[in-house]
């Protein structure tokens, strides 16, 4: 894996890859992987447009997929597993946009929480392939790099 090799070369840290189902992207049900133009169900297309333009975390894709709330529950479960299994260790995670927003929301990232307390999961979406540090991760990565460079 390119990233694992690159990360090791840059930091001296060896990463052990694993897959976690809780980091899957939000499921759109039968239309996973389709573009809006490829979907022939007008009601479903309206849901896609509503999802893209609103903050409705309850859209569950006509019962075929999962809502943003479902993704937040998975994100919370992932964080709990990391806290239990990897306390004091560096965890590098890769996932997709909705799951990243869910992780950020579960951790209470201020940019995603409006003044009225609403979780604005469609606001401040991260650009593709841009690293984002959760919690005090920036401090932890410095500690790990410093420990491995001695």
pLDDT in tens, 18-73: 999 999 999 999 999 999 999 999 999 999 999 888 888 889 899 999 999 999 99
- Tell me what pLDDT residue 135 has: 64
**Between residues 96 and 135, the one the model is more confident about:** 96
- Alpha carbon distance 96, 90 (integer Å): 20
As a whole-number percent, the residues of the chain with pLDDT over 90 amount to 44
Burial of 68 (0-12, 13-18, 19+ CB in 10 A): buried
For residue 2, what pLDDT is reported? 85
**pLDDT grade for 121, boundaries at 50, 70 and 90:** confident
Question: Whole-model pTM?
Answer: 0.79
d(CA 5, CA 7): 6
pLDDT 10s digits, 134-144: 766 566 667 76
Question: DSSP states of 87-111 as a string?
Answer: TTS-------HHHHHHHHHHTT-GG
Confidence at residue 61, expressed as pLDDT on a 0 to 100 scale:
93
pLDDT of residue 118: 79
Q: DSSP for 68-91?
A: HHHHHHHHHHHHHHHHHH-TTS--
Q: Was domain 20-148 assigned CATH 3.40.50.1240?
A: yes
Residues 6+ apart with CB under 8 A from 21: 74
């Amino acid at each position: 894996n390119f990233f694992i090799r690159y990360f090791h070369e840059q930091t001296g840290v060896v990463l052990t890859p694993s897959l976690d189902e809780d980091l899957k992207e939000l499921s759109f049900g039968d239309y996973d992987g389709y573009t809006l133009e490829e979907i022939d169900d007008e009601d479903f297309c309206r849901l896609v447009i509503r999802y893209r333009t609103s903050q409705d975390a309850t859209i569950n894709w006509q019962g075929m997929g999962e809502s943003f709330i479902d993704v937040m529950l998975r994100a919370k479960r992932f964080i709990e597993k990391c806290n239990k299994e990897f306390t004091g260790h560096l965890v590098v995670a890769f996932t997709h946009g909705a799951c990243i927003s869910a992780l950020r929301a579960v951790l209470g990232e201020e940019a995603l929480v409006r003044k009225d307390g609403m979780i604005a999961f469609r606001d401040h979406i991260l650009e593709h392939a841009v690293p984002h540090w959760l919690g005090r991760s920036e401090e932890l990565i410095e500690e790990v790099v410093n420990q491995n460079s001695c």
